[in-house]
Amino acid sequence: MKLAYWMYAGPAHIGTLRVASSFKNVHAIMHAPLGDDYFNVMRSMLERERDFTPVTASIVDRHVLARGSQEKVVDNISRKDKQERPNLIVLTPTCTSSILQEDLQNFVERASAVSDSDIILADVNHYRVNELQAADRTLEQVVRYYLDKARRQENFSVSLTEKPSANIIGIFTLGFHNQHDCRELKRLLKDLSIEINQVIPEGGFVENLHMLPKAWFNLVPYRETGLMTAKYLEKEFGMSYISTTPMGIVDIANCIRQIQERINTQYPILLKKKINYEPYIDEQTKFISQAAWFSRSIDCQNLTGKKAVVFGDATHAASITKILACEMGIRVSCAGTYCKHDQEWFKEQVQNFCDEILITDDHTKVGDMIARVEPSAIFGTQMERHIGKRLDIPCGVISSPVHIQNFTLGYRPFLGYEGTNQVADLVYNSFTLGMEDHLLEIFGGHDTKEVITKSLSTDTDLTWSSESLLELNKIPGFVRGKIKRNTEKFARQNGITQITAETMYAAKEALNA
């Protein structure tokens, strides 16, 4: 047993449901007790979905405990088959049903006999994998199922598309800025004259999965979900995949160069001429994206050597660490991830870019680390944002888990060249707040708890000499009120009625001491 208040990654079935409900016309049936269908609430509220979430529960109640599900699951499947006519029904076990150890595979076979839909049992172990791993597996399972089926029916061609094309694998519902990233990736590929063969699972149809091998290569933007599928496709169809996340100027260029190399070496006959993306990379880096220029500008100079802490899923935490360290000159004191299952990769990615590495899924450890390091800014999940609030450190949210405010209506990709702009804004805005804080510090501390005078107006018994007023006006506007109050407080404590410039500096010294 573990005492837990908060978790970074959800239970396995959430991952399965996220993948299943991202496909079009796929229905998931959970074998679960009443109340476990809160996934529908999350999707409907966070993603602001207009459609009913295609997830229902085959309820496990006392009767099921006593006698087993018997006909119930099969009935629920065939009923859903008639009501919605989905292409695929995914029977999803939950933690409850995995202890019951009912033969769900048997239900699937029985239901298959009477339904028009395809039916599969999601193959995830609740006590061994988390949400992200389960999503990865389920996606691979669905793809494998349909490619095997196509192979049996001999209705699929492995002939490549005429022009260079790619599959984007791993965009799905409730993913951190996934919709925006997908749009940005499509734009990037279009710029490179690469056609999109398919995007899965978001918005994809399972009937089209047999055409996946027509693409020239696969692009896996996020490590957490899609790698298994890409590896499967590589093994079975010799499709190469690129898993460099195109986040940050350096890695976007890496990613594009890899694409160029794969296409040039693997398909020289199809291509006729060699492609060269270097001019594109150069143009985008220097003039389209503002991030490269930003890191040269004096704004960014001020950030040099500032301390930051990064925490999130493996993809985002690693990319942001690299951006901060190499592209902005910020010192990353600690980089960490809750993706324990992928820690080797993560360590390898960030080891030269940060002082220490933290692999944990315990938010108290993250909190303690932040308190110890005392960074000027945090880049993390919603949890780190709250830790930051408590410690008075600004935080930019860079990874799931997130709240509704991170499902923005406006266009906010993290990937691609527009993504670099968004990330630069996010980083800079977090630190600017830090700078203001710092100025406040210089001119006299944070202590606002003690109220001296109730009103903010000037009718006090204290008089300010003309030179001290002049001095006061030199102080930047946003801290002026605070300085004024601190000086007056100091004056009152020391029985001074006439405030001079000396009083001001005495006050500042007194407060700093």
Partner 1 sequence: MSIKISETLTFECETGNYHTFCPISCVAWLYQKIEDSFFLVVGTKTCGYFLQNALGVMIFAEPRYAMAELEEGDISAQLNDYQELKRLCLQIKKDRNPSVIIWIGTCTTEIIKMDLEGMAPKLENEIEIPIVVARANGLDYAFTQGEDTVLAAMAHRCPEQNFLNNKKQEIKDKRIKDLFSFRFNETEEKNTKFNNSINKTSLVLFGSLPSTVASQLSLELKRQSIHISGWLPAQRYTDLPVLGNAVYVCGVNPFLSRTATTLMRRRKCKLIGAPFPIGPDGTRAWIEEICSVFGIKTQGLEEREKQVWDNLTDYINLVRGKSVFFMGDNLLEISLARFLIRCGMIVYEIGIPYMDKRYQAAELTFLQTTCKKMCIPMPRIVEKPDNYNQIQRMRELQPDLAITGMAHANPLEARGINTKWSVEFTFAQIHGFTNAKDVLELVTRPLRRNNNLENLGWTNLVK
Interface positions with partner 1 (CB under 8 A): 1-7, 10-11, 13-14, 32-38, 40-42, 44-45, 48-53, 56-57, 59-62, 65, 76, 83, 94-96, 99-100, 126-128, 130, 386, 403
CA atoms within 13 A on the CB side of 461: 8
Helix (H, G, I), strand (E, B) or coil at 176: coil
Radius of gyration of the chain (CA): 28
Among 260, 180, 258, 167, smallest CA distance to 217 is for 167
Residue among 27 and 482 whose Cβ is closer to partner 1: 27
CA atoms within 13 A on the CB side of 311: 33
Whole-angstrom distance, CA of residue 294 vs CA of residue 290: 6
Residue among 331 and 341 whose Cβ is closer to partner 1: 341
- Residue 299 falls in the annotated catalytic set: yes
Contact 225, 232 (CB under 8 A): no
Judging by beta carbons within 10 Å of its beta carbon (0-12, 13-18, 19+), is residue 275 exposed, middle or buried?
A: middle
Residue among 389 and 446 whose Cβ is closer to partner 1: 389
Helix (H, G, I), strand (E, B) or coil at 165: strand
Output the smallest distance, CB 412 to partner 1, in A.
Answer: 21
Contact 428, 290 (CB under 8 A): no
36 assigned binding-site residue: yes
Output the smallest distance, CB 4 to partner 1, in A.
Answer: 5
Question: What CA dihedral angle connects 144, 147, 150 and 152, to 10 degrees?
Answer: -60
Query: Phi, psi (5° rounding) for residue 240?
Result: -80, 155
Residue among 47 and 436 whose Cβ is closer to partner 1: 47
Locate the DSSP E strands across 360-398: 377-380, 395-397
434 assigned binding-site residue: yes
Whole-angstrom distance, CA of residue 306 vs CA of residue 384: 18
Whole-angstrom distance, CA of residue 429 vs CA of residue 222: 25
Residue among 82 and 286 whose Cβ is closer to partner 1: 82
Output the smallest distance, CB 10 to partner 1, in A.
Answer: 4
Output the smallest distance, CB 168 to partner 1, in A.
Answer: 24
Whole-angstrom distance, CA of residue 477 vs CA of residue 479: 6
DSSP assigned state of 342: G
Contact 328, 307 (CB under 8 A): no
Helix (H, G, I), strand (E, B) or coil at 331: strand
Residue among 7 and 501 whose Cβ is closer to partner 1: 7
Among 111, 148, 325, smallest CA distance to 233 is for 148
Whole-angstrom distance, CA of residue 75 vs CA of residue 52: 21
Q: Of 148, 299, 355, 368, which one is the catalytic site residue? A: 299
Whole-angstrom distance, CA of residue 389 vs CA of residue 394: 7
Q: b/e string for 342-353 if b means 16 or more Cβ within 10 A?
A: bbebbeebbeeb
Task: List residues bridging with 91 in a β-sheet.
Answer: 29, 121
Output the smallest distance, CB 381 to partner 1, in A.
Answer: 12
Output the smallest distance, CB 367 to partner 1, in A.
Answer: 11
Residue among 26 and 32 whose Cβ is closer to partner 1: 32
Contacts of 211 (CB under 8 A, 6+ apart): 156, 197, 198
Query: Phi, psi (5° rounding) for residue 156?
Result: -130, 145
Task: List residues bridging with 463 in a β-sheet.
Answer: 498
Residue among 64 and 281 whose Cβ is closer to partner 1: 64
Tell me which residues are annotated as active site: 299
Binding site for substrate, by residue number, is 434-435
Binding site, by residue number, is 36, 434-435
